[in-house]
């Protein structure tokens, strides 16, 4: 089961390194986090580090709940500790580390929560392979056609008018 390790940073940190800053293409200079955590290696594309003030009015426990979807939620005692933090935090999932944590004085582990993992064991029904029904192409509506009787009447009226004009001149 993958865990999310939550550290309070005991050093002044003003940079933010989150999924959002990575999407924006920002690449801040990070402190020596592997040394701070006593790790062999750390995949910084998997971690988040930011001043708690960056959350505005949102509680840190709410942010972790929304952003990382812990499997069982965050225990009440851990929520209180997380929400009381000031300064900067570092959020490190297990899949970002190589080695075992041996934090130095720069980082204090406050909590760890199990992260939800995808369940890909379901058996899915076979997909329908029959061809999709064809859609008729859009055609313009048919125009009303003048019935032949109306056309003959129109020609008769025009002929009568021409005859009346012709007879009136003579």
Count the domains in the chain.
1
Domain assignment of residue 39, given as a range: 3-114
Q: What is the mean pLDDT of the chain?
A: 85
139 assigned to some structural domain: no
146 assigned to some structural domain: no
Rounded to 5°, angle at Cα 106 from 101 and 109: 45
Torsion on CA atoms 62, 72, 118, 24, rounded to nearest 10: 20
Q: How confident is the model at residue 84 (pLDDT cuts 50, 70, 90)?
A: very high
165 assigned to some structural domain: no
pLDDT in tens, 155-165: 888 888 887 88
33 assigned to some structural domain: yes
Spatial CA neighbour of 11 closest among 34, 35, 31 = 31
Q: How confident is the model at residue 143 (pLDDT cuts 50, 70, 90)?
A: low
123 assigned to some structural domain: no
Residues 6+ apart with CB under 8 A from 108: 7, 8, 10
pLDDT in tens, 22-78: 889 988 888 899 999 999 899 989 999 999 999 998 999 999 988 887 777 888 999
119 assigned to some structural domain: no
Spatial CA neighbour of 75 closest among 111, 24, 27, 28 = 111
131 assigned to some structural domain: no
């Amino acid at each position: 089961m993958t865990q999310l390790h939550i550290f309070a940073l005991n050093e002044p940190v003003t940079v933010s390194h989150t999924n959002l800053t990575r999407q924006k293409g920002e690449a801040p200079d990070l402190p020596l986090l592997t040394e701070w955590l006593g790790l062999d290696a750390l995949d910084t594309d998997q971690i988040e580090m930011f001043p708690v003030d960056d959350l505005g009015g949102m509680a840190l426990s709410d942010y972790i709940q929304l952003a990382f979807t812990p499997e069982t939620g965050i225990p009440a005692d851990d929520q209180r500790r997380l929400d009381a933090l000031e300064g900067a935090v570092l959020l490190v999932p297990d899949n970002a580390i190589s080695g075992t944590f041996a934090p130095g004085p720069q980082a204090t582990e406050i909590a760890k929560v199990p992260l939800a993992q995808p369940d890909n064991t379901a058996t899915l029904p076979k997909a329908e392979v029959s061809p999709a029904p064809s859609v008729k192409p859009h055609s313009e509506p048919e125009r009303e056609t003048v019935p032949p009787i109306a056309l003959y009447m129109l020609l008769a009226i025009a002929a009568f008018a021409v005859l009346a004009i012709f007879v009136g001149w003579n």
